[in-house]
Amino acid sequence: MTARIGVVTFPGSLDDRDTQRAIKLAGAEPVALWHKDKDLKQVDAVVLPGGFSYGDYLRAGAISRFSPVMVTVIEQAKSGMPVLGICNGFQILTEAHLLPGGMLGNDHLHFICRDQKLKVENAETAWTADYESGQEIHIPLKNMDGRYVADERTLDMLEAEGRVVFRYVVGGAFADGFGNPNGSLRDIAGISNEAGNVVGLMPHPEHAVEPLVGSGRTDGLPFFTSILKKLVNA
């Protein structure tokens, strides 16, 4: 049986079609989901894609969090269904309290778009099993409100529980993809919930899945092969 992975489209979503393509390339069946519908069409996992849902009014992801589809996504995520939030999707997951902390505007107050170097900190989540812990990858990044923040107690908890999934790699030339691009605390680029089925990150793995499209790299494809193997072996 082919795994079915839903991709939610909100008003202002930009990367839903790219995400569907990445899922198909990995060997799963992409299923389009509409933000006004509570029905998840019996999918096995859900991706909240990047974009600027509702124009990022109030706060990025703050309105989408109350979309009818999120009622079911929140319920199913708490029951163990794998959910991935990419960029705006990550922002929505924090607004929905499926992930702790929040997102603020980039510390330099400018939109940034570039190939970003990341370190895989946790290769044991539902979405990262095809990576290796400590592996460094290049994933495209594009955001205006990408600065991850949380109080010190929450940050310490994430570190202690191994829930920092990706970190920006510092120590090299910014032009080569090194460095913290938005001021995220502790260089955090992505985190997970306690169970590891919900993951959010700011960079865009769906833009790095085939050599001739996007960044020209395939460093993002393991996100989608990881979840496929997880679902097939479940």
Average pLDDT over residues 129-143: 96
How high is the pLDDT of residue 36? 97
The percent of residues in the chain predicted with pLDDT above 90, rounded, is: 88
How high is the pLDDT of residue 210? 92
* Position 164 confidence tier, pLDDT thresholds 50, 70, 90: very high
pLDDT tens for each residue of 190-222? 999 999 999 999 999 999 999 887 778 899 999
Residue 73: which of 129, 130, 5 has the closest Cα? 5
Average pLDDT over residues 79-99: 98
Catalytic annotation present for 113: no
- Of the residues 35, 87, 95, 121, only one is catalytic, namely 87
* Position 1 confidence tier, pLDDT thresholds 50, 70, 90: low
**β-pair partners for 192:** 199
Q: Which residues contact 85 (CB under 8 A, 6 or more apart)?
A: 47, 48, 91, 92, 93, 99, 198, 199, 200, 201
Q: What is the mean pLDDT of the chain?
A: 95
Average pLDDT over residues 76-87: 98
Catalytic annotation present for 95: no
Residue 131 has pLDDT above 70, yes or no: yes
47-51, 130-134, 148-152, 214-218: segment of lowest average pLDDT: 214-218
Contact 105, 147 (CB under 8 A): yes
How high is the pLDDT of residue 56? 86
pLDDT tens for each residue of 40-81? 999 999 999 999 999 888 888 999 999 999 999 999 999 999
**Dihedral over Cα of 146, 149, 155, 157: its sign:** negative
d(CA 5, CA 3): 6
Query: Could you identify the residue written with the tokens 């990341």?
Result: 118
Structure tokens, 204 = 């865009």
94, exposed or middle or buried, with CB in 10 Å at 0-12, 13-18, 19+? buried
Residue 117: which of 200, 198, 173 has the closest Cα? 173
* Position 234 confidence tier, pLDDT thresholds 50, 70, 90: low
Q: What is the pTM of this model?
A: 0.95
- Of the residues 95, 121, 138, 206, only one is catalytic, namely 206
Contact 9, 35 (CB under 8 A): yes
How high is the pLDDT of residue 174? 84
d(CA 9, CA 34): 5
Residue 165: which of 231, 97, 114, 222 has the closest Cα? 222
- Of the residues 35, 138, 204, 207, only one is catalytic, namely 204
Residue 143: which of 209, 85, 226 has the closest Cα? 85
